[in-house]
Amino acid sequence: MCQRLLIVFGILLFSIPAFGQVDSWYELMCDTVSWKNYDGPFKRKKNDTQTEPAKTINLHPYFLDLKLLTRSDSLKKLPAHAQYLSWDNQNIWHKKRTITFPNDSILFHLVNEDCDFVFPTEMGRQTSPYGPRWGRMHAGLDLDLETGDPVVSAFEGLVRISQWSDSYGNVVVVRHPNGLETLYGHLNERKVLSGQYVQAGELLGLGGNTGRSYGSHLHWEVRYLGQAFDPNYLVIPSKRSLKSPIFTLNQKKLDQPLVARVAPKPSEEPKTDSNKTTTKKTYTVKKGDTLGSIARKNGTTVDKLCKLNGLKSSSVLKVGQKLRVK
């Protein structure tokens, strides 16, 4: 009788799924609705290798060490998880959510000490502001840099996104403890993984000209619950500094940039500098073109073409590819 009980107990013990496995709580966290309504330990799901291939989750070891066994753990350990109730390292931006403004505004504490903020680029020159541009919304600031320049995190936080995007190129998104998220786009190279904790001023990547971009620069966005607003409400680019240690967000700041501007026509290219009259010029690669032939046609050099477009002299060109030549 005792032997039978032991055998039954052993079968039941080994048939109970393991708890706290990364693939379980991580997948559930990506599903906001399920995550919001679940508050217990997570059972590992056995993948059917014939119908569902195993998923590769590229996470930083720091994230794996958080031991998020329940939703309560996430509320304590993930930045602003009470506001988002999800952690998605696949989609760059969440679906826009309605922001409720108690007393008509939300107060954000940005820093406690001066070292809690570092401007993301070494140069503080803004080349294109937030707002309508070429018939579409430009949801961030373009900041001048050279390919290979360091790009750092403005505030401390947890890296949510580190991936390739057709529009942003190499892109990193960091979620900060106060609920704000910052995006760093068109990087030449990424130096962080999703789930990695970073301090203000820590290297995220190297500046570049990847994705939908014409010339090396950093595209920098600030969002809250998926909704973008003008970063100029927070910073003074020319001084590479914060305006204030606190920030008040209201509906007006969500609806319009700090300084309204007239949207340029789609055929117009922005000037590279307010003191210069030269405009950006692009060239569409044709069959048989090389960097040398393109340089000769446009009165420039291969070195300059490479620098403007984040290329190497050995880079392979594609027909239809647009290159900045000026």
Euclidean distance between CA atoms 100 and 258, whole angstroms: 21
Q: Is residue 80 part of a domain?
A: yes
Contact 104, 137 (CB under 8 A): no
Tokens of residue 44, six digits: 């590992």
Place of tokens 């922001």: 99
Q: Which residue has the higher pLDDT, 4 or 242?
A: 242
Q: Indicate if 61 and 135 belong to the same structural domain.
A: no
Whether 20 shows a pLDDT value over 50: the answer reads: no
Q: b vs e for 14-34, b when ≥16 Cβ sit within 10 Å of the residue's Cβ?
A: eeeeeeeebebbbbbbeebee
Q: Indicate if 225 and 142 belong to the same structural domain.
A: yes
On the CB side of 181, how many CA atoms lie within 13 Å of its CA?
28
Q: Is residue 264 part of a domain?
A: no
Q: Indicate if 250 and 116 belong to the same structural domain.
A: yes
User: Residue 100 — pLDDT band, cuts 50, 70, 90?
Assistant: confident
Q: Which residue has the higher pLDDT, 194 or 280?
A: 194
Q: Is residue 41 part of a domain?
A: yes
Q: Which residues pair with 249 in a beta bridge?
A: 106
Q: Could you list the residue range(s) of the whole structural domain that residue 301 is in?
A: 282-324
Q: Is residue 159 part of a domain?
A: yes
Q: Is residue 151 part of a domain?
A: yes
Q: Indicate if 233 and 287 belong to the same structural domain.
A: no
Q: Indicate if 175 and 289 belong to the same structural domain.
A: no
Q: Indicate if 76 and 198 belong to the same structural domain.
A: no
Amino acid at 149: D
- Percentage, residues of the chain above pLDDT 70: 72
Q: What is the pLDDT of residue 4?
A: 52
Whether 41 shows a pLDDT value over 80: the answer reads: no
Structural domains counted in the chain: 3
Q: Is residue 223 part of a domain?
A: yes
Q: Is residue 276 part of a domain?
A: no
User: Residue 81 — pLDDT band, cuts 50, 70, 90?
Assistant: confident
Q: Which residue has the higher pLDDT, 301 or 46?
A: 301
The residue among 219, 238, 255 that closes a domain is 255
* Residue 137 parent element (H or E): strand 136-138
The distance between the two most distant Cα atoms of the chain, rounded to a whole number of Å, is 94
Q: Indicate if 143 and 232 belong to the same structural domain.
A: yes
DSSP 17: P
CATH number for 160: 2.70.70.10
Whether 163 shows a pLDDT value over 90: the answer reads: yes
Encode pLDDT of 8-17 as tens digits.
444 443 333 3
Place of tokens 């569902």: 52
Q: Indicate if 68 and 134 belong to the same structural domain.
A: no
CATH number for 305: 3.10.350.10
Whether 26 shows a pLDDT value over 70: the answer reads: no
Q: Please state the length of the chain.
A: 326
Whether 246 shows a pLDDT value over 50: the answer reads: yes
> In sequence order, what are the residues at sequence separation of 6 or more whose Cβ sits closer than 8 angstroms to the Cβ of residue 293?
none
Burial of 274 (0-12, 13-18, 19+ CB in 10 A): exposed
Q: Indicate if 192 and 124 belong to the same structural domain.
A: yes
Encode pLDDT of 201-243 as tens digits.
999 999 999 998 888 999 999 999 989 999 999 999 999 999 9
Judged by average pLDDT, the poorest of 64-73, 179-188, 227-236, 249-258 is 64-73
On the CB side of 98, how many CA atoms lie within 13 Å of its CA?
2
Taking the whole predicted model, whether its pTM rises above 0.95 is answered as: no
Q: Indicate if 292 and 250 belong to the same structural domain.
A: no
Q: Indicate if 166 and 215 belong to the same structural domain.
A: yes
Q: Indicate if 127 and 214 belong to the same structural domain.
A: yes
Q: Which residue has the higher pLDDT, 196 or 24?
A: 196
Q: Is residue 181 part of a domain?
A: yes
